[in-house]
Structure 1
Amino acid sequence: MQKLNPTPNHQLSLPIPSDDAQLVSRQLETLIHAEIAACHGVIPFSRYMEMALYTPRLGYYSGGSVKLGADGDFTTAPEMSSLFGATLAQVAQQLFTQSAPEIMEFGAGSGKLAFDILSECQQSQIPLRRYFIVELSGELRARQEERLKDFPQVVWLSKMPTAFSGIVIGNEVLDAMPVELVCKSEQGWTRLGVSSEMSSTASISGFKLVSMDEATDQHVALLTQIPDAAALPNGYLTEVHPIEIGFMRSIATMLMAGHAESGQGGVAIWLDYGFPAHEYYLPQRDQGTLMCHYRHHAHPDPFYLPGLQDITAHVDFTAVAIAGVEAGLDLLSYTSQAGFLLGGGITEVLARIPAEDSRRYLPASNAVQKLLSPAEMGELFKVLILGTGVALPEALLQHDRSHRL
């Protein structure tokens, strides 16, 4: 396999992309450099991340490359096992007694999770009236439409509705939202931006992080996410999550309006990797959690091949929970993915496959083991549930860790 030479920002040897892919990345780089020039030489890191991930036709999530599975950059729980979506459908069935029989998914990607939930609803005769997918990418919507063509309940939306009663699901959605980078120095906390890096010949050669040196009210408010910010050492670099928080407030407003209009409850279930704030901002985590994924390689350089690699940060679940509660929702549960799936009945779903049918049972059992194991996804991934007008069944509360937020 051909390898790329290490960039100045890290010592890596990664699979080389095709010529067409490199051309797409250079086109995106040109757009970002133009944006930086138009903004007097610097843009917030959150804007760089937004452009790298979501620029139409060129960004990582809005382009046409394969993201998931063996040929992509990473694997998600739905891609690993259809039992993940089947378990979510079983959870939904229990909640439909208190809400409208509708689901709204954000970040549907290839449509695999929707397919598994819809298939389980069909097989188990779970009354699902409509399955909404909020999708901004035309390329992703086309993939989803092909995969879900046999399910007439699916409705695509280009924006969040003003009111909704039902179940909102987001699997690995929050971690892909642009973050702000902040760094502590002797002068205090500074928001970091991105500028164009000039080579010795005065030509543009890439990007670099620079201090933005402004103390706006918004900048100061961001630091309230960080517990004991004043006690952290100089040089401490981390992320704060204003877009994530704003998104959660919008979800809360939508669910509260749906409850007020219909009298039926609403629930938002977020599955992602992250920490509560007191674990997120530990002194030893002094370079933050920002991570990039390219062809199943993880590395820390966000300026490497923009548009061809994923850029993520862990979720601050405390900040998300506070945003939802302050907007009127109830904190229903915070737990590990293993705790949620066990409470949702994944072992019962697995037990439908006869153990003597080893060709089916062993792969399914191995996948469930990865979803539940503390050494795999079971502990790294967490589940945050907020809602209004809904009480969770007792099984979903057995492993609750809300006190740790």
Structure 2
Amino acid sequence: MIPLDLPEPSPEAQAHSARLRELIAAEIRANRGAIAFSRYMELALYAPGFGYYSAGATKFGAAGDFVTAPELGGLFAACIAEATAPVLRRFKGEGCFLELGGGSGAFAAAVLPALAARNALPAGYWILEPSADLRERQRERLQAELDAGIFERVRWLDRLPDDDWNGVLFANEVLDALPTTRFVMSGGEVMEQSVCLHGEAFAFCERPADMLVSAAVRHVERSLGRAFADGYTSELLPQLPYWLDAVCGALAQGLVLFVDYGYPRREFYLAEREQGTLLCHYRHRVHADPFVLPGLQDITASVDFTAVAEAGQHAGLELAGYSSQAAFLLNNGLQQHVEAGPADAVGAHRRALEAKRLILPSEMGERFQVMGLARGVDCEDQFAFGDQSHRL
């Protein structure tokens, strides 16, 4: 059943979703009637050929389901280039830039010329993109928009690098799409939210959490200095330390930048967020039902940035800084980039509107956060204005 306030998908899209629904239902039946919510989210987003990020529908921009910062224009990428150019120049043309999830290719198309203008072109620009469809779209866009000498530096990876490398790892809106564990407190015990079948419909059910999930919840409680009340429901990523270690393990020296929406732990687990932070995006509508239109909608959860800092420490990385997106962009040249933009009135107006969407508290400015993790390089200047590491 499609909620009345969501647009009706095409018959082809509904058929696609129905096939994914049956694939998930079959796995539920094969696993004694329930699968972890994290597994449901993994299938809904990444099942080969059917998941939201694996299939071919437009996801980004006005024609898709949501707008990311790179889709607004070139300001975001220009500021990221300003922040990362000193790191890349340190390696004298031998450093690389690894982007996790290339989206529509908008970020790469803007950041590479901006790095070239700062004499900081990476030896290789790597994109780790699991979706074959998105890879092809990125390739077509970058080949059309980049100079041939720059485009030849772009390479798509099938897996993370095995050999040690130096440079920058960048991830915009990646952490929020990691399959998340949902927990709920019951009688003082940690229960894990699973997905079962209620007739033909998906529904939440509960089962005792395993040792990994239970230990992760108890760690959060100790960090907060209080126990969760019965009925409190939220998300966490018990696998985050292992994921971050795998992602950054071969980075010998360099900077890791995560940009995403989220909070420090004490704000993430406020009492008023007793139902968690899970959200779904479909054609620029936001709702909280992950079981609607599987394969056609994005499913996300906010990021506990304290957990990211802890995972970075586990992986041998140092915290370079943590700030709002607004503070980070302003610290890395946003105002100068706005002033150096188009001279005509229409272009200047568009540039100003783009800047406002990036930094206003009512838009992306405070909702999105930036965290830097470093290994063997000093990147504190990139967070000199507005660093809020003390909130972690």
Residue type of the alignment partner of 2:220 = Q
How far does the alpha carbon of each residue in 1:163-204 deviate from its partner, in whole angstroms, 9 at most, with x for none?
Answer: 321000000000001000000111511011101111xxxxxx
How far does the alpha carbon of each residue in 1:367-401 deviate from its partner, in whole angstroms, 9 at most, with x for none?
Answer: 01110111211111000000111112535322111
Residue type of the alignment partner of 1:85 = A
Aligned to 1:305: 293
Residue type of the alignment partner of 1:29 = R
Alignment of 1:153-168 (within 5 A): 153-162=153-162, 163-168=164-169
Alignment of 1:130-145 (within 5 A): 130-145=124-139
Shift in Å, 1:218: 1.1
Q: 1:399 and 1:229 mapped to 2: Cα distance?
A: 27
Residue type of the alignment partner of 1:293 = H
Aligned to 1:345: 333
- Aligned counterpart in structure 1 of residue 28 of structure 2, from 20, 24, 36: 36
Alignment of 1:153-192 (within 5 A): 153-162=153-162, 163-192=164-193
Name the SS for the 1:142 alignment partner: helix
Name the SS for the 2:56 alignment partner: coil
Name the SS for the 1:148 alignment partner: helix
- Aligned counterpart in structure 1 of residue 313 of structure 2, from 307, 310, 325: 325
Q: 1:376 and 1:276 mapped to 2: Cα distance?
A: 19
Alignment of 1:352-391 (within 5 A): 352-354=340-342, 356-391=343-378
Note if contact 1:340-1:383 (Cα within 8 Å) is conserved in structure 2: yes
- Aligned counterpart in structure 1 of residue 247 of structure 2, from 234, 238, 251: 251
Aligned to 2:102: 108
Q: 2:226 and 2:384 mapped to 1: Cα distance?
A: 35
Matched, 1:283 2:271: yes
- Aligned counterpart in structure 2 of residue 231 of structure 1, from 222, 227, 230: 227
Q: 1:82 and 1:240 mapped to 2: Cα distance?
A: 33
Aligned to 1:208: 203
Larger displacement relative to structure 2 (14-23 or 116-125):
116-125
Name the SS for the 1:96 alignment partner: helix
Q: 2:231 and 2:363 mapped to 1: Cα distance?
A: 32
Aligned to 1:52: 44
Q: 2:156 and 2:2 mapped to 1: Cα distance?
A: 42
Q: 1:283 and 1:58 mapped to 2: Cα distance?
A: 36
Aligned to 2:16: 24
Shift in Å, 1:125: 4.0
Counting matched residue pairs gives: 381
Name the SS for the 1:21 alignment partner: helix
Shift in Å, 1:251: 2.8
Note if contact 1:253-1:327 (Cα within 8 Å) is conserved in structure 2: yes
Q: 1:249 and 1:395 mapped to 2: Cα distance?
A: 23
Shift in Å, 1:153: 0.8
Residue type of the alignment partner of 2:158 = S
Note if contact 1:178-1:243 (Cα within 8 Å) is conserved in structure 2: no
Note if contact 1:94-1:393 (Cα within 8 Å) is conserved in structure 2: no
How far does the alpha carbon of each residue in 1:244-292 deviate from its partner, in whole angstroms, 9 at most, with x for none?
Answer: 332212233222xx2xxxxxx2110000000111110111110000000
Q: 2:36 and 2:255 mapped to 1: Cα distance?
A: 33
Name the SS for the 1:155 alignment partner: strand
Note if contact 2:28-2:196 (Cα within 8 Å) is conserved in structure 1: yes
Alignment of 1:72-87 (within 5 A): 72-87=64-79
Name the SS for the 1:242 alignment partner: coil
Which residues of structure 2 form unaligned runs of 5+?
Answer: none
- Counterparts in 2 of 1:403 and 1:129: CA distance versus 1, 3 Å: same
How far does the alpha carbon of each residue in 1:1-47 deviate from its partner, in whole angstroms, 9 at most, with x for none?
Answer: xxx753xxxxx521000000000000000000111111111100000
Which residues of structure 1 form unaligned runs of 5+?
Answer: 7-11, 199-204, 259-264
How far does the alpha carbon of each residue in 1:84-118 deviate from its partner, in whole angstroms, 9 at most, with x for none?
Answer: 11221122212224344321000111111011111
Name the SS for the 1:338 alignment partner: helix
Name the SS for the 1:212 alignment partner: strand
TM-score by length of 2: 0.93
Q: 1:357 and 1:230 mapped to 2: Cα distance?
A: 56
Name the SS for the 2:7 alignment partner: coil
Note if contact 2:101-2:130 (Cα within 8 Å) is conserved in structure 1: no
How far does the alpha carbon of each residue in 1:346-368 deviate from its partner, in whole angstroms, 9 at most, with x for none?
Answer: 211222125x5112111011101
Matched, 1:392 2:388: no
How far does the alpha carbon of each residue in 1:36-85 deviate from its partner, in whole angstroms, 9 at most, with x for none?
Answer: 11111110000000000001111101110000111111100000121111
Matched, 1:242 2:242: no
Larger displacement relative to structure 2 (159-168 or 279-288):
159-168
How far does the alpha carbon of each residue in 1:295-318 deviate from its partner, in whole angstroms, 9 at most, with x for none?
Answer: 111000000000000000000100
Q: 1:136 and 1:229 mapped to 2: Cα distance?
A: 39
- Counterparts in 2 of 1:231 and 1:93: CA distance versus 1, 3 Å: same
Aligned to 1:197: 198
Note if contact 1:98-1:389 (Cα within 8 Å) is conserved in structure 2: no
What is the RMSD of the two structures over their aligned residues, measured on CA atoms? 1.6
- Counterparts in 2 of 1:132 and 1:239: CA distance versus 1, 3 Å: same
Q: 1:5 and 1:49 mapped to 2: Cα distance?
A: 19
- Counterparts in 2 of 1:395 and 1:388: CA distance versus 1, 3 Å: closer
Q: 1:244 and 1:173 mapped to 2: Cα distance?
A: 12
Residue type of the alignment partner of 1:39 = N
Note if contact 1:78-1:113 (Cα within 8 Å) is conserved in structure 2: yes
Q: 1:147 and 1:13 mapped to 2: Cα distance?
A: 33
The share of aligned pairs that are identical, in percent, is 41
